[in-house]
Structure 1
Amino acid sequence: MHYRNLGTTGLKVSEIAYGSWLTFGNQVELDNAKAIIRRAVELGINYIDTADVYERGQAEQLLGEILPEYNRRQLVIATKAFWPMSDHPSDRGLSRKHIIDSINGSLQRLKLDYVDLFYCHRFDPEVPLEETLEAVQDIIRQGKALYWGTSEWTAAQIAEAWGICKARGWQTPVVNQPLYNLTNRYIESDVLPVTRNLGMGTANFSPLAQGLLTGKYSKGKIPAGSRAADERLNMFMKDQVADMDLLDRVDKLGEIAKDYNISSAQLALAWVLQQDGISSVIIGASSVKQLEDNAAASGITLKEADLRTINQLFPA
């Protein structure tokens, strides 16, 4: 496993991170989760990503049964707040109340004294930005989080928050967590240039487009047990697995991967890791085998000619 600094901070994160969205508390139960985390640590993965809203706390609870077994100093744990945790109007968003309630609830479920990264899971237009930022600074001062970041904020929102923090002597956001993969490159137009310029790292989620870029859906086939076959999990990919042109282009990725003796998934992950400004890619393997295959993408270098071909297949 290779490691990178998270933006301009001194925090070292594994190039491959493990994320519990759509897996822990959903596809993955305790015994399997323990096996996945154990293998992740063995492989050198130190960054584990979760959020309060993942199965409304169940993912964090599952991790809370596992993480105490490991050396806390060797792990980078991230959680997030924004989405509703109940039907109550105060149990959502980025108000001071919800941020404080959220971090306290997350730490209780995770059985941790602090998290390394706290993400504002979306931008909240209903709350004054200064209120959100001051609440985040408070949990950092209290030692409940060490660093903070944004997820799916626009370039303008990130820049405004960074500027307010800088002017007030507060900790600026150090990382952004956007959707980013070969089929969705929207951050390249403005978000990624802004975060690079501000010295922020990027830890992107869904680098394999929820499994589409693995090649498993070639010719429109949907294997039993796959995410696309699960009505609870396929809400974001139904159109893609019906797009034959897209699937044909994914098949061409497999041809390039053969030249490196790697899988299509490893190729897609390696492509992300060669983009300027990326600190880590967050994968969501639901089995040890998937985890091992994805983790092997760390350290792979693709040739410039192949990068050009890939970019032609999947233009920004």
Structure 2
Amino acid sequence: MSPLGLTTSQLTSAHLVAHDDAVALVREAVRLGVDVIDTAPLYGLGEAEYIVGKALEPLADRIFLMGKIGRFEKSIVSGHGTACYRSPALISAQFEHSLRLLRRDRLDLLLLHESDWPEWWEPGAEVRGPVLDLLDRLREQGRIGGTGMFPSDPSQAPRLCGSGRFDALLFRKDMHVVRQAPLAVSLESARSQNMGVAVAASLSPSDAGRAPHGEAVQAVAREAGLSLPELGVRWLLSQEDVHTVLVGPRDRKELERAVAWAAEPPLEPALLRALADASGVRQRNPWNPEIDGAD
């Protein structure tokens, strides 16, 4: 798998990206050496999956494709309530619809969207629910190569990883260079279970300004002569336990810039230490007030 992957969350009309441009961008990413692509039913309510399917139809064997289940469309939730997240029939139907849009008969990795939501799980500390039985059957049938989790709350990653039921962890886009503590805990949990790890990186400098420790990290970035998006991507690529960094460009210029950053060497140890110090200001964790936010 390439160290840089492409997430298609922004390649939809909702983000003002034209259909033909989105298809061309996916193909250009592959031409530039990106062989990991992430998509989901949530992205444009299937629009991103359709774009990926169209773009990759002649290139399918060259790509590691990550899909998702979960985050059902509103009409399904209104008709079935939260019981849809415990219905093998509805979960399976969503998966099959994704395959049709993607023009595939299998996925390399299937992730559980919002895997920390209690709606998926039976009451109690153990991670157990109908969705896991379905994922196991799909893997036995050869419909998926592996299973992954995609939690919205990183404080839940240790519990989910500790279940031993997942092969991979996808950590969402939150400018992790300025939020190192939650990522570090998740990486440790994934490492203990020998899980693959993909992390989404922001290409927007404004994300850091809204994050804890943002100003301190921005000062380090200025001293290093790097933009915040470049610093964020290269910092993630410098983490030994991060196997793929997913970026979500909306045009060719953003894509080419991210590919160029990925070709640069890992950040120097002195810069990594400065970033750890900058992000380690003692502050409450933004996701869980009971956990101190310092590294």
Q: Same fold by TM (over 0.5)? A: yes
What's the TM-score once normalised by structure 2's chain length? 0.80
Partner of 1:102: 94
After superposition, the Cα gap between the structure-2 partners of 1:139 and 1:312, relative to the gap in structure 1 and judged at 3 Å, is: same
Give % identity: 22
The alpha-carbon distance between structure 1 residues 61 and 190, as it changes in their structure 2 partners (threshold 3 A), is same
Pair 1:51-2:40 in alignment:
yes
What's the counterpart of residue 234 of structure 1?
A: none
Name the aligned partner's letter for residue 114 of structure 1.
R
The reply on whether 1:193 has 2:188 as its aligned counterpart is yes
C-alpha displacement of 1:306: 1.2
The alignment partner of 1:270 has SS state of helix
Deviation at 1:247, TM superposition (A): 4.8
Mapped partners of 1:185, 1:158: distance in 2: 18
3-state SS of 1:18 partner: strand
Aligned residue among 51, 66, 79 for 2:67: 79
What is the aligned partner in structure 1 of residue 288 from structure 2?
A: none
The Cα RMSD (Å) is 2.4
Q: Which amino acid aligns with 1:96?
A: P
Greater relative CO (CA pairs within 8 A, separation 6+):
1
1:225 is matched with: none
| Aligned pairs for 1:244-283 within 5 A | 246-247=214-215, 249-250=217-218, 252-257=220-225, 263-283=227-247
Question: How many angstroms apart in 1 are the aligned matches of 2:212 and 2:150?
Answer: 31
Q: Deviations over 1:92-135 (max 9, x none)?
A: 52532232112101001111111111001122423432422110
Residue aligning to 1:288: 252
* Stretches of structure 2 lacking an aligned partner (at least 5 in a row): 123-127, 281-294
Deviation at 1:76, TM superposition (A): 0.7
Aligned to 1:204: 199
Q: Secondary structure of the residue that 1:277 maps to in structure 2?
A: coil
1:55-70 aligned at under 5 Å gives the runs 55-70=44-59
Distance 1:312 1:125 in 2: 35
Higher helix share: 2
Contiguous gaps of at least 5 residues in structure 1:
1-12, 163-171, 218-236
Question: Does 192-201 or 29-38 show the bigger shift?
Answer: 29-38
AA aligned opposite 2:169: N
Which amino acid in 2 is paired with 1:46? D
User: Residues 266 and 296 of structure 1 are in contact (CA less than 8 Å); yes or no, is this contact kept in structure 2?
Assistant: no
Equivalent residues of 1:201, 1:279 under 8 A apart: yes
The normalised TM-score by structure 1 is 0.75
